[in-house]
Amino acid sequence: MQQSASLLKTAREMGWRDPARGLELIQDAEREFERILAITADLTEIRSDVERSVTSAEGVTGSPGESRRLLDAAIEEFANGSLREAEQNFRLAKSKAIEIEAHWMDAAEAIENAESAIGKEEGHLVRGLKETIRAAKKAMKDENPQRALAIVSEIPSQMSGIDGLMDKAKQAIEEAEQSLESLEGSTSESSSTRILDAKEALKSGDPSLAIGLAEGISREQKSISGAMSMVQRSLRQRKLIEERLPSGDGADNWHRNLDSIEDKASRGEWIGAAEDLAKLTFDLESFESERAEAREMIDFLSKDWQTLRKRLDSSGIGPDDSSRIASEKALAQAESSLERGNLEACLSSLGSADSAIEALRRRV
């Protein structure tokens, strides 16, 4: 009321000198007084409404909280005549009470559901969700149920995803164990250790690591199984392979390689045996291709030589001619080298034969 009182004092002082201005100031004081009375009436109604909301919110939480503190501060400001501050605190108390009434029960239920979904599960994935629940409980303690509801509402669905990962990890471990059992006698100590590591990872709540370890074992065992089948199938047909191997020079190396493959297979080193077998097969196919090309060249030169030899006889170049002898010898050496599997020597002899035959062709 200080503003109204000040106006009246000023009107009293000025009224003696300027009655009209004094009356105006009195009217201003009346208007200010009426405005204050109106605000006071409004605040009284607001206070009643806020007190109902705060009481209702306390019925939800079971104890007084921030909304009650704001209400008490507003009442104190009102009593001291600080109407604007009182109005602001009334509105803050109302807002906090409304938030509690709107979200407290839902947030409490969401926290309960989240804790139920987690149950007794452990592990680093679950630990993160438990931290979220603790943060939600702190938000409830701070009377911020809307935040609590927001951060825990997805935990049940997240736990469903974790449960799915756990089931996938269990299945992956079972498949890995089955793959090890199917290759009994060929299982490495490393694979057995990794199975134990995968089970420990699952037990500690790390399904992603368990899946990675188990699937790695399954892939490895699948590779071993494939290698074993290929090597065993090939070794059952060893005689057919040996029939393809060249005889003569270098034959021992081919047979030693084949014996090494069989030795690795007997020790269960299927991957190494398969790699060696693949290399031997590749080298053998390359050799056979080169041998076929050399055979074509020998056949071509031999046919060409037979035709040329008749022309040589007609031209008086007899069998005792040194160039004829060199040609015959080179062709014979090429044939012999091919039979021994010495392709390099065969090709060298073919080159010599071709040069000698070409020289004789020019003489004719």
122: which 2 tokens?
């452990």
Q: How confident is the model at residue 1 (pLDDT cuts 50, 70, 90)?
A: very low
Q: Which of 1, 171, 24, 172 is nearest to 80 (CA)?
A: 1
**Mean pLDDT lowest for which of 103-117, 135-149, 174-188, 241-255?**
174-188
- Region 25-42: what's the mean pLDDT? 59
Q: Which of 181, 178, 212, 184 is nearest to 198 (CA)?
A: 212
Share of the chain above pLDDT 90, in %: 1
Q: Which of 140, 342, 114, 341 is nearest to 246 (CA)?
A: 341
Domain ranges of the chain: 2-118, 158-223, 241-363
Q: Which of 249, 345, 244, 354 is nearest to 297 (CA)?
A: 354
Could you read off the pLDDT of 157-178 as tens digits, one per residue?
766 666 777 778 788 888 788 8
Angle, in degrees to the nearest 10, between helices 124-141 and 145-152: 170
**What pTM was computed for the model?**
0.47
- CB 202, CB 170: distance < 8 Å: yes
Task: Give residue 187's pLDDT.
Answer: 55
**227 class by beta-carbon count within 10 Å (0-12 exposed, 13-18 middle, 19+ buried):** buried
**Does residue 24 surpass a pLDDT of 70?**
no
Q: How confident is the model at residue 10 (pLDDT cuts 50, 70, 90)?
A: low
Task: Give residue 118's pLDDT.
Answer: 77
